[in-house]
Structure 1
Amino acid sequence: MDLRPLLGARRIRRRPVDDDLASVIALDPASAARTKRPTLRIAHFTDTYLPRRDGVVTSVQTLTAAMSELGHSSLLVVPRHRDLPEDEQLLRLPAVPCGVAQFRLAAWPRSRHVERVAHWLPNVVHVHTPGPVGLLGIFAARRLGLPLVQTYHTDLRAYVDAYRLPSPVIESLLRCYARRLGSPKLEIPRGVSRTERRDATVDAGTGLLLADADAVLVPTPAILARRHLPIDDERIYVAPTGVSLPSVPPGAGKAFRRRHGIQPDEPVVLFVGRVNREKGIPLLTEAFGRLRDVVPSARLVLVGAVYDARWVQRLLEQAGISDRTVLTGQLPPDQVAQAYAGCDVFGFPSLTDTQGLVIQEAALAGLPAVLADEALHGTGPLAGTGVLAGTDPMRFAEALEELLTNPVKRAQVGEEARARAKQNSPSDYAQRMAAIYGRALRRAGSAERQSRGERRGPFRSRRLIA
């Protein structure tokens, strides 16, 4: 297939949409799978992938596996890494480590990359991240005239702050993105504080990246409580990622304890995730330091990658808990499941998470959670379960103490969370997503008869996918 005429234009009219495919999948994705009706080919674009592990990687892997069970095909466009297996499902782009949190920076989007995607003949483009790979996804959707779905996985303002990215770097990057997407010159606000200027720049970038999307997904309403996404509400869908947990053999929890020198009778608080600033680790360490005064035998287990070991060690020393803390580093899923089985309470101090997949994983293992984020506690698949402690270290310590020392309440809260988590399976998630893809296809089809401005339409009530 000669793609040169196609790729030569900056933007082309959208490809005609198969109305039958769109309608069947949008209205009844499970029936479409059972009756062998036309199935979807989704090209996923993510800047974070294995061997790095995070919520985006988990979400993408869960989605593609569950969509495959429905009979749909997936292509994953990811940064190249030497440890990635040979897999026809993967399109690996040249990439180099950028020195921050195991991120690999993929090549800047080029027409030849779009051509490689085009040969796979996708029906839909799904962008998961705002880096160069995500930008390539937006570029590919434009060039190939495909429906564009995006997931807002990351609270960008919070991460820019956590990783201390300088405003000039953010502004330069935004201008590069604007030029690549052929957008008008973006005005950076002046005469405001440094924080306001940085936040306005991040918001402008968010608006630029989401402008073309036929559907924008948020994993939980928590992000909508924190941020206003600069798009019309009719394109926003709430679609929480379904979660599963690897099964572990009897005694796996005890084995995890033995492996890390934890005694059978020691109460254990567990955290799973990046051991970094954006995850609220200072709150957890300070709270655990106060907890140790009343429950001296308690242990803290931190499972996840550590990117600034000196900073973490300093926190542990300041809280006086170095001798009571276990740092495991990043673990594969089966060992994380063993950690859940071997601990008593899950502590989640993050104020930046948009979905908290690890809270759902902990719930599947029957662990009650103590959370700091009111929005995350009150929304999503586990809404209202667990204990909301807020951001005060003393209150967080008291919540941990009550669950550790009250086995009846601990079991009650844990079982309630487990029952709720079981209602959000990967297969249910895949059916929700198939319906959203179908709606994006239908929207793209109607867009052939409307201008881009008309397609955006007026602001309407937010559509929730339960």
Structure 2
Amino acid sequence: MRAVHFTDTYLPRRDGVVTSIRTLVRALADHGHPGLTVVPRHPGQADEPDLLRLRALPCGVADLRFSPWLLRGAGATGTIEAVAAAEPEIVHVHTPGPVGLLGVLAARRLGLPLVQTYHTDLHAYADAYRLPAQALRATVRLYARRLGVPHPPVGPVGARARGRWPVGRAGRGPATLHRRAALDATNLLLLGDADAVVVPTRAVLDRISLPVPDERVFLVPTGVAGRRPEPGQVAAFRAAHGIAPDDRVVLAVGRVNREKGVDLLVPAFARALAGCPQARLVLVGAVFDPRWLTGLLKSVGPAVAARITLTGQQPAETVAAAYGSAELLAFPSRTDTQALVLQEAALAGVPAVLVDPVLHRHGPLAGAAVQTAPTPEDFAAGMLRLLDDPAEARRIGATAASRAARHTPTSYAAAMCEVYDQAARRQRAGARTTGEVGQPAVNR
């Protein structure tokens, strides 16, 4: 079954969505299902087979690129014709930006089944960056116009009509509620007609009410291939980043941004350092807001900042060497829906400390980690627990490795083929089908 994948994020930018897509495309191809991937063009982007690169402009946020077809609807025609020439049998949309919207439009125009993966907790990101509700409402109107459908009501009336207006919930002021109402309307436009919606973990369903019935939601964890580095690669990584032989590495992998909980991690590390002076925090990931990060490092003082190493964004083989140098993975994020780094670390035998209770209980590691409250004091205590007890760290790491090993690229591709088959049968029949892949989507 030849799928065409649509994504607003791709190499050279690295994130969990990119990793998930590339893992899936390769695994499907290995099993006789070649595909096409539609991506925004980046300067210096390497050529790859079966990659359709669209003109794109920098949007000024986290190195993301904006496909300007959204502003000129006629720009979609050539892309859809190129997609049709590849003779796909199914459309798989991975992101909610302009390229993802183009995928929804392509599925409609070409009469193909539509599968969506809900990778990103949009509500959490919109709250973290305080995106203006007015801009989000304008996006809803523009998306509806490009799809040629009436735009859904946005705000208290529209959200209440869809049963998604959480009146009176603690910690949510009017601005937050209006943002979330606009995002619910966006999700309705993008997901409402999907023949199948994939969520990578239960965390999505616990946080968000998706506008699709349960029988069209499938829980499919992304498969991760283990990659153990050679000792020489680990030594080279430590030498390249000034990590001394007696340094005890606390590793964090991912964007060094506020939505990833770095503002919790840094003060927590300052407290952990007081209990373990050999600790060194190594942050592997892109820095998109250096001014914010500089202020955060200043807040903990020069002595602590000197024990924090920033490597920037790194290729996969260097990240593998980083895991090989670490004693534990610190994962302070509360916005992730799958956290592939937890699986990567586990497959390297590295135990994790995290604060997200849903990912801890229902993620691929199924509790094989240390979970703490999201406070600097508790997170520091969790890190020190593993640093102070290597035997427990090894035990947790071994359990995590065995659980992560269940989710391979091969099993991921097989599960997605089942989803594609369900979606195709539903689209052909013009009616819903019911089925479960791996684990059923829990009732919401």
- How far apart are 1:232 and its partner, in Å? 0.5
In 2, Cα distance between the equivalents of 1:75 and 1:112? 15
Which is further off, 177-186 or 190-199? 190-199
1:303-322 maps to which residues of 2 (within 5 A)?
303-320=284-301, 321-322=304-305
Write the mapping of 1:46-445 to structure 2, written as runs, cut at 5 A: 46-108=7-69, 110-189=76-155, 193-320=174-301, 321-445=304-428
Is the CA contact 1:291–1:400 (under 8 Å) kept in the aligned structure 2? Answer: yes
Question: Quick one: distance in 1 between partners of 2:25 and 2:150?
Answer: 35
Greater shift after overlay, 78-87 or 273-282? 78-87
Do the aligned residues in 2 keep the contact of 1:253 with 1:343 (CA within 8 Å)? no
1:319–1:141: structure 2 CA closer, same or farther, 3 Å change rule?
same
Deviation at 1:88, TM superposition (A): 3.5
The answer to whether the 8 Å contact 1:157/1:199 transfers is yes
| Runs of 4+ more than 6 Å apart | none
- 1:64 alignment partner AA: V
- Using the alignment, how far apart are the partners of 1:76 and 1:435 within structure 2? 20
**TM-score using structure 2 length:** 0.91
Query: 8 Å contact 2:9–2:64 — kept in the other structure?
Result: yes
Separation in 1 of the partners of 2:242 and 2:47?
38
- Structure-2 change in CA distance of 1:67 and 1:333 (3 Å): same
The worse-fitting range, judged by mean Cα deviation, of 107-116 and 44-53 is 107-116
Give the aligned residue type for 2:373: G
The 1-side partners of 2:7 and 2:89 are apart by 17
3-state SS of 1:44 partner: strand
Tell me the alpha carbon deviations over residues 135-192 of structure 1, each in whole angstroms, 9 at most, x when there is no partner: 1100000000000000000000111122332111111111000111122233222598
CA distance in 2, matches of 1:162, 1:410: 32
Distance in 2 (CA, whole Å) between partners of 1:432 and 1:190 is: 38
Give the Cα separation in 2 of the matches to 1:183 and 1:332: 42
Counterpart CA distance in 1 for 2:213 and 2:233 is 48
> Any conservation in 1 of the 2:227–2:347 contact (CA below 8 Å)?
no
Q: CA deviation at 1:464?
A: 5.0
Change (3 A) 1:81 1:168: same
Residue in 2 that maps onto 1:14: none
Q: Which runs of 5+ in 2 are unaligned?
A: 158-166, 168-173, 440-444
Per mean C-alpha deviation after superposition, the further-off stretch among 48-57 and 76-85 is 76-85
* SS in structure 1 of the partner of residue 186 of structure 2: helix
Structure 1: which 5+ residue stretches go unaligned? 1-39, 448-454
Instruction: From the CA coordinates, give the structure whose radius of gyration is larger.
Output: 1
Alignment size in residue pairs: 417
CA contact (8 A) 1:313 1:322 kept: no
Equivalent residues of 1:345, 1:367 under 8 A apart: yes
User: Which SS does the other structure have where 2:35 is aligned?
Assistant: strand
Q: Which residue of 1 aligns with 2:171?
A: none
Q: How far did residue 245 of structure 1 move?
A: 3.4
Answer yes or no: is the 8 Å Cα contact 1:254–1:264 preserved in 2.
Answer: no
The answer to whether the 8 A contact 1:93-1:107 is kept is no
Please name the residue that 1:15 is paired with: none
Asked if 2 retains the 8 angstrom alpha-carbon contact of 1:232 and 1:456, the reply is no
Whole-angstrom distance in 1 between the partners of 2:214 and 2:415? 18
Residue 429 of structure 2: aligned partner: 446
Amino acid at match of 2:244: Q
- Which residue does the alignment assign to 1:465? 438
Is the 8 Å Cα contact of residues 252 and 342 (structure 1) preserved in structure 2? no
Task: Name the SS of the counterpart of 1:251 in structure 2.
Answer: helix
* Cα root mean square deviation, aligned: 1.5
- TM-score, normalising length from structure 1? 0.87
**Letter matched to residue 352 of structure 1:** T
Give the distance between the partners of 1:121 and 1:210, measured in 2 at CA.
Answer: 23
